[in-house]
Amino acid sequence: MHNLITNIEGCATALAETVNINLLYYSHLPTIVISLILGSFVFIKNKKDLSAKILFFISLVFSFWTFFDFVSWKSSNSVHIMFTWALLGILDALMYILSLYFVYVFIDKKDISFVKKIILVGLLLPIIIMTPTNLNLISFDVVNCWANDNSFLNYIYVPEIIVSLWIIILAIQRYIKADKNKRKEIFLLSTGIILFLFSFFTAGYLTEIFNNFSIEIYGLFGMIAFMAFLAHLIVRYKAFNIKLLGAQALVAALAIGIGSQFFFIQNPTNKILNGITFAISLGFGYFLVKSVEKVDRQKEELEIANDKIQKDKEIVEKANVELVNLDKAKTEFINIASHQLRTPISVISGVASMMLEGDIDRMPPEQRQKFYRSVWEKTKKLKFIVHDILNATSFANQKFSVVEETAETIDVPAMLGKIIGDFDMEVKERGIDLELHAEENVPPVKGQQKYLEEAFINLINNAIKYTPSANMTNDVRKKRERGERGRIAVSVKKDPGNPQNVLVEIADNGIGIPKEAKEKLFHRFSRAQNAVDMYTDGTGLGLFIVKEIAEGHGGKVWFESELGKGTSFFVNLPTSPKFNVDIKKRVAEDSKD
């Protein structure tokens, strides 16, 4: 019992001789608080983030180290001292290894490889093994009240040096490869962490050399430097995706700084004064943070509003471009349409003028017949173009849809037979075979015959235009020269995929549709892009009208085409359609194009 008392007295004396006890409070307790606050703050904000987890672990290990170190200084109990002292080495090495791990994950944003993990554990392993043995601590020095450690413990410098160099090399490598912003992050983080490890290492090393334990205390301030760099990373670069204002970080640091002074102020007056300063700082800090938060919120709102304006502007600009394009297409369309209207008019009026001038009367009957026929053909054409323009205009204003009450029951094969009959003379003249293949028992469809007729006339007209015939067009003529006869097969049957529907196919062996034309085939003015360079007969409205009519009947139209081989258009018509229901959908689809 006497020995123990002596021992305690001896320890107290030894402590007082080696280090200022107040400095011990100042160096150890605030650093624990700061590192724990920042570590757990980052962890709470990013529970799933690996780098946040590692950082939290580092702050824990650091806190344990600092606390144990504090106990080994402060305690007079040899058991406590021996226990905490023995664990310092392993915690020390662990801190270094975790720091390296942290740098990897923070910069690369991913976990390190298994091999690297093995290496890191390998570095730690000797210390783990040594810790409970007398390779670590040999005995307790009652006189100096400290542990006598084994020189094997110097192994601890191995992982410390390896890890420190590793971090420096890693940071430089990553820095070279990184972009400007990332470089700043890498620089701040690695500088902070190296400063921390370096001061820790240096302090420990100098302690050994000079055998002056108070130097070790200053190593802890490296942690503060690291935390400051980390806080700056968070404030400036939103590291860990944390939004922290500079003012918030500053007030927190101030509070910890002032608060920590309580540990070594002895004079009661100073304690009161420090308390007042502490309270005032907290109070002002609170208002400062609030007002900065408000400004920051406003700034954010402004940024969001700005973003929205920018986006709106882009939308308006895009719409403008589209409008300009549409306007161009319309102007071109008007040019073509007026050309298409003028052409038959000029022939009809030309022949009429020759009649008045008596030229036609003087002609032999066969020639006269040719002139009359040209008037007839041009009149048909004129009628057709006028129809197209009127329909397209009306469909553009309002989507076409069959009205249920006025829907007729239409026998599709009969209707197609009649249309094909009307084309008889034209196809004979052009040397094209136009045939109808109708399956038996094709169910009737509901709709408006006038419009359906127009749709099929349009499709058959197209097929004739692009199919080998005696009449012009070089590509088609080439086919004809190869001995291919123009052939258009119109077939009508129950849709094999859905017997409730009627499927019409108009297949030709014409020139096919070029790839670039396929996409916009069913659009209005699709032909109107470059009329002078790529002129073909027609207004470019026909397929748009066909699509509107087919969809207005609850059906659809599509095509298959191979360049040089021919084209098949398919029209699918339901026998008991639900009219009107999908108009909105059709409008939405059109606006998407």
According to the binding rule CB under 8 A, does residue 529 interact with other proteins? no
Residue with smaller CB distance to other proteins, 304 or 563: 563
Token pair for 239: 């590291």
Q: Residue 215's closest CA among 27, 14, 12, 62?
A: 27
Binding mask 308-337 for other proteins (x = CB under 8 A): ------------------------x--x--
Question: Is 42 or 385 the residue whose CB approaches other proteins more closely?
Answer: 385
The number of helix segments (H) and strand segments (E) in the chain equals 19, 9
Q: 496: number of CA atoms within 13 Å, CB side?
A: 2
Rule CB under 8 A: is residue 370 a binding residue for other proteins? yes
Q: Which is nearer to other proteins, 154 or 349 (CB)?
A: 349
* 341 vs 378: CA distance, rounded Å: 10
* 338 counts as binding other proteins under rule CB under 8 A: yes
Q: Are 181 and 113 contacting, i.e. CB atoms less than 8 angstroms apart?
A: no
Q: Which residue in the set 270, 310, 346, 393 belongs to the binding site for other proteins (CB under 8 A)? A: 346
- Indicate the residue among 210 and 535 with the shorter CB distance to other proteins: 535
Asked if 109 interacts with other proteins (CB under 8 A), we say no
CB of 528 to other proteins, least distance (A): 11
Per-residue contact string for residues 432-471; x = within reach of other proteins by CB under 8 A? ---------------------------------------x
Q: Are strands 556-562 and 498-508 parallel, antiparallel or unpaired?
A: unpaired
Q: What angle do CA 207, 19, 81 make, to 5 degrees?
A: 75
Regarding 371 and contact with other proteins (CB under 8 A), the answer is: yes
Quick one: which of 20, 343, 461, 568 contacts other proteins (CB under 8 A)? 343
CB of 346 to other proteins, least distance (A): 4
The CB density around residue 150, as the number of other CB atoms within 10 Å, is: 16
Minimum CB–partner distance for residue 345 and other proteins (Å): 5
The single residue among 301, 359, 433, 439 that binds other proteins, judged by CB under 8 A, is 359
The sheet that has 486-495: what strands, in order across it? 432-438, 486-495, 498-508, 566-574, 556-562
Among 302, 321, 534, 588, binds other proteins (CB under 8 A): 534
- As measured in angstroms, the least distance from the Cβ of 535 to other proteins is 4
User: Rule CB under 8 A: is residue 339 a binding residue for other proteins?
Assistant: yes
With CB under 8 A as the contact rule, the residue among 361, 440, 533, 593 that binds other proteins is 533
Q: Which stretch binds other proteins (CB under 8 A): 52-60, 131-139, 140-148, 343-351?
A: 343-351
Using the rule CB under 8 A, is 5 a contact of other proteins?
no
Q: What does the alpha-carbon distance between residue 58 and residue 292 come to, in Å, rounded to a whole number?
A: 31
Task: Give yes or no for a contact between 462 and 542, defined as CB atoms under 8 angstroms apart.
Answer: yes
What is the DSSP annotation of 390-412? HHHHHHHHS-----GGGPEEE-H
Please give the Cα distance from 500 to 554 (Å, whole number): 12
Concatenate the DSSP letters of all residues of 461-517 into one string: HHHHHTS--SS--HHHHHHHHTTPPEEEEEEEEEETTEEEEEEEEEEE-S----HHH
- Using CB under 8 A as the binding rule, whether residue 210 contacts other proteins is answered as no
Q: Is 367 one of the binding residues for other proteins (CB under 8 A)?
A: yes
Question: Can you give the binding site for other proteins, defined by CB under 8 A?
Answer: 332, 335, 338-339, 342-343, 345-347, 349-351, 353-354, 357, 359, 367, 370-371, 374, 377-378, 471-475, 531-537
